[in-house]
């Protein structure tokens, strides 16, 4: 359904060119959930905003690559063609509802807007569908909520409104950018169940961005690990947790609280991500890699190679030739 090849997104600033996404490739099949994980600043959100051409320009610019969705290259099609797809066939749940909801429009006006634009529904039909959408994400007293403004709702309720807006058109592809961050555990489970139900009902493809490896283990079919704007590992979910092959993936898994005994000090990844305004030579994780020792991490960015069936990892010496003594299992 979606095939992305060599996507590059740069930000041109006074302090230099920041290579936020540096040549990533991936695909999503119908009915599949692709999980994307990585630290803040690894390029997860920027890569998905790029697909819908939502990168602010200036300073952002998509400098290369293709993103083919149902035969249409999203990065090079006309604005009119993109508008027919964006919000209808592809929907996105944004990370921060405070900045994504219009403070001057009621919740009802915002949630019904895609129904008027894409489905040409009447006011009565749109109100009925909007009420059902709010009820599905756990919002009560829906008629009054449709008349409310964003500032009248809590952070968790605003997040649920964003989710309802994304799901109301029953998209073919849903991009969820940390959709459950502001929600408590009970509502989080409800939202995940709702996304799963839509996926099964409509055979919807889902791209799910999160920091929560537990959520990824429970919802994703495949996982893509990003670091410094690059893909360092991608594999079927169960295999990634059983055989993490890149040092960064292993470091992420080892820092998960669920893998530590009560009272045990949490493991962290030392150091900081590289400065993306400077050209990275060799493995981007080399300076923080606990397994590097005296190995040569190369002078060129490592390419993805297939270690196991459908399991790809960046071909750095520390990644390929190190045999981890401990592996984490989901």
- Which of 224 and 328 is assigned the larger pLDDT? 224
Say if residue 84 is in the same domain as residue 161: yes
Instruction: List the domain range (segments joined by +) for residue 323.
Output: 245-254+281-330
Say if residue 319 is in the same domain as residue 187: no
Show the CA angle centred on residue 140, arms to residues 136 and 141, nearest 5°. Answer: 130
Say if residue 301 is in the same domain as residue 182: no
Give pLDDT, residue 260.
66
Say if residue 200 is in the same domain as residue 250: no
Quick one: pLDDT band at residue 269, thresholds 50, 70, 90?
Answer: confident
Say if residue 208 is in the same domain as residue 325: no
User: Is 303's pLDDT higher than 80?
Assistant: yes
Nearest to 171 by CA among 30, 7, 60: 30
Say if residue 200 is in the same domain as residue 290: no
Which of 203, 220, 237 is the endpoint of a domain?
220
The pTM of this model reads: 0.87
State how far the Cα of 69 lies from the Cα of 55, in Å rounded to an integer. Answer: 18
- Per-residue pLDDT tens over the stretch 229-255: 999 999 999 999 998 988 889 888 888
* Percent of the chain scoring above 70 in pLDDT: 92
Contact assessment for residue 207 and residue 37, using Cβ atoms and an 8 Å cutoff: no
Lowest average pLDDT, out of 28-37, 136-145, 231-240, 320-329, goes to: 320-329
Contact assessment for residue 252 and residue 324, using Cβ atoms and an 8 Å cutoff: no
């Amino acid at each position: 359904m979606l095939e992305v090849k060599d996507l590059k997104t740069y930000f041109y600033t006074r302090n230099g060119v920041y290579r936020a996404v540096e040549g990533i490739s991936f695909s999503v099949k119908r009915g599949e959930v692709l999980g994307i994980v990585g630290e803040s600043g690894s390029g997860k959100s920027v890569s998905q905003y790029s697909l819908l051409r939502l990168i602010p320009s200036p300073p952002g610019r998509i400098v290369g690559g293709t993103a083919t969705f149902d035969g249409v290259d999203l990065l090079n099609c006309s604005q009119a063609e993109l508008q027919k797809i964006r919000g209808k066939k592809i929907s996105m749940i944004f990370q921060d509802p405070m900045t994504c909801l219009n403070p001057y429009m009621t919740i009802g006006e915002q949630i019904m807007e895609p129904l008027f634009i894409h489905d040409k529904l009447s006011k009565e039909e749109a109100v009925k569908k909007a009420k059902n959408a709010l009820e599905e994400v756990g919002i009560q007293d829906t008629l009054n909520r449709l008349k409310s403004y964003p500032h009248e709702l809590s952070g968790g309720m605003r997040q649920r409104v964003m989710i309802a807006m994304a799901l109301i058109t029953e998209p073919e592809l849903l991009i969820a950018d940390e959709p459950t961050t502001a929600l408590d555990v009970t509502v989080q489970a409800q939202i995940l169940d709702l996304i799963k139900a839509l996926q099964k009902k409509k055979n919807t493809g889902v791209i799910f961005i999160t920091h929560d490896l537990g959520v990824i283990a429970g919802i994703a079919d495949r996982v893509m690990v990003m670091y410094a704007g690059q893909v360092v590992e991608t594999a079927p979910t169960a295999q990634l947790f059983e055989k993490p092959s890149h040092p960064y993936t292993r470091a992420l898994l080892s820092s998960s609280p669920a893998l530590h005994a009560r009272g045990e000090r949490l493991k962290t990844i030392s150091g900081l991500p590289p400065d993306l305004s400077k050209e990275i030579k060799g493995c981007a994780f080399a300076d923080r890699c606990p397994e590097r020792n005296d190995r040569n991490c190369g002078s060129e960015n490592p390419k993805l190679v297939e270690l196991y069936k459908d399991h790809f990892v960046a071909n750095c010496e520390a990644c390929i030739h190190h045999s981890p003594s401990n592996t984490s299992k989901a």
